[in-house]
Structure 1
Amino acid sequence: MVLQSLKSRIFNDASKYATKWLRELPHVIWGIRTQKTWATGYTPFYMVYSTEAILPSDVAFGAPRIQYYEEGEMEKSQRLDIDSLEEHRVAALIQHAHHKQQIRCYHNRNVKELSFNIGDSVLHRI
């Protein structure tokens, strides 16, 4: 995922590519950490810190959660988040199991079962 994202950000213009990936890497990693995954339904940032990340665009454009931020309310909110953290982890685990089952079904549609008998010729790689 990191390499694919880097390729799309680096090779879009005719500039020198030698050190451009180094400047773009933090942006790509941040993007990956703040996007919801299909497997869990949550962002990796949320799974680690039990809260959603504040994006630079939220700060720049004055998102409501930035404008109406209150210190006392934040502490209460963090306590509620910690209390519900286990529920979110269980929900993520269920979503991950469902996603894994979908991938398994997709893979098994294209797999053909083979059976071998004694005396059949098979290719053996050394």
Structure 2
Amino acid sequence: MTPVGDIHGRTAESRAGVAAFLAGVWLIAAPPVLHFGASLHAFRPYWVSMGLAVVIMLLGMVRAMAPLDVPLLRQITIGLALWLLVVSLRPGDGGSSAVWLNQLVVSAGIALSAGLALLVGMRGARRRTTA
């Protein structure tokens, strides 16, 4: 039988993985939706954030399907979200301000969901060691 702490940890991690996956999908879809002119120059201002979005999507899928099997993915996802935040804060290179703001909000959301899943996992681990 699975301890209750493991169920809560798996649920939180799985939901954070799904949130990261959906955020990655949105980051890829956002440039053409928010800035149609981007397709004229082949998404040049967005290639770094779109590459990060693909990696975040893949990590999100793994976290959603096998939530506690690879615990290091939480920290990697937080790091990638912070990197995405840094990429969106660099000086403008022709990107739309709507896409820039979108990257800020989405990267903060990814980092927040991964951080909350990390805290829930740490709380469950602490509860198991004291019991």
Normalising by the residue count of structure 1, what TM-score does the alignment of the two structures yield? 0.33
Write 1 or 2 for the structure with the bigger share of helix.
Answer: 2
State the TM-score, normalized to the length of structure 2.
0.32
Select the structure with the greater relative contact order (CA < 8 A; seq sep ≥ 6): 2
